[in-house]
Structure 1
Amino acid sequence: MPPAELDLLRRLKARDESAFVELVDAHHASMLRLARAYVRDAAAAEEVVQETWLAVLRGIDHFEGRSSFKTWLYTILVNRARTRGKRDKRVIAFADLARDESADASELTESFDAEGHWSAFPVSWETSPSAAVERAELQQLARTAIDALPPAQRAVIVLRDIEDLASDVVCNILQISETNQRVLLHRARQRVRKALTQALGE
């Protein structure tokens, strides 16, 4: 576990309020996006995230560090979001969404390299980002594009590209196969890229 994470964990266990504030600031928005993959509306997602924070505070003393703190946090969130989704009788099952979108991994294009990163950024990002949009506006465009993704794609891209979790960790949290995860991530990135390039006037 990285020193910074160990320090955060120590402070959380000591009931350091500033540590909890740091944690919320770092993850709350991404947690809301992930929760929306399982529940019917923004209000329900907010409730799930609040329940997750309470569970973290109650369970922090029992966290043994067998996984990263971030993995533990998001596993709690996904489990609670799934439970809430079932309770609210959301008809879309995440596993079914993943299967629907993973039938053909051969659809992957040359837009991404072997590690799944974009092989080339849109020209506007490299040469004249300020001429297209201000940095804050570009970030908002990206957030809007992610929020508009289908639930399964949104969950994968939030965990992989925003929270920077490893592929195997994401598969474990979401209970999907590596192939499913790879295709979902590819399609999510393609949609976000398309939305951004259109907004930038390409």
Structure 2
Amino acid sequence: MKHTLRITTAALTLAALSTGAFAQNQGDFTLGVGLGGVFPTSGNGTLAGAEADIDDGYALTITGEYFIWDNVGIELLAATPFEHDIDLAGIGFAGSINHLPPTLSVNYHFPTDTAWKPYLGIGVNYTTFFDEESPLGNLELDNSWGVAVQAGVDYAFSDKDAFRANIRWIDIDSDVTLDGAQIGTAEIDPIVLNFAYVRKF
């Protein structure tokens, strides 16, 4: 009897981790909360004749995704502000910036027979810059529109809960002015890593 009970328990556990675990069906909605890191590409353009270097930034993230078809969702990424320092070659610290990078994506989640649910997505990003500060003068960065692509995976630990890890590349380029004069274009183009808890409703 105990042996049969163990087999039954194991079978039920495997069933929970099969296709039905965290299935993404039409009409489902998921909400994710996590931590994101924005890692600008090396070589962030030339500003005022000097090579710019923009450092990494971290913030809390939130995502909401609505499934318009089975396995196909429209996702909005939002976050608390990311902050970055800007250094210029030969000058050093040249300022700091804050930005918000809301991103709207269409994702395809691959149906699997396991708790692992990989997905791919493509979308559009709008980055708005604010609270720019610089010891050199009045620093301003223009807002940016660009394409965003991502790959990720959910690990389901129930039919409604999952851990998520994903990586994005976002095209972010911004014209920069100092005291009203254009001094170049900041080429940020970051890799964005995010780790989150996701709940399905």
- The structure whose residues are more often strand, as a share, is 2
TM-score by length of 2: 0.20
TM-score by length of 1: 0.20
- Higher gyration radius (CA): 2
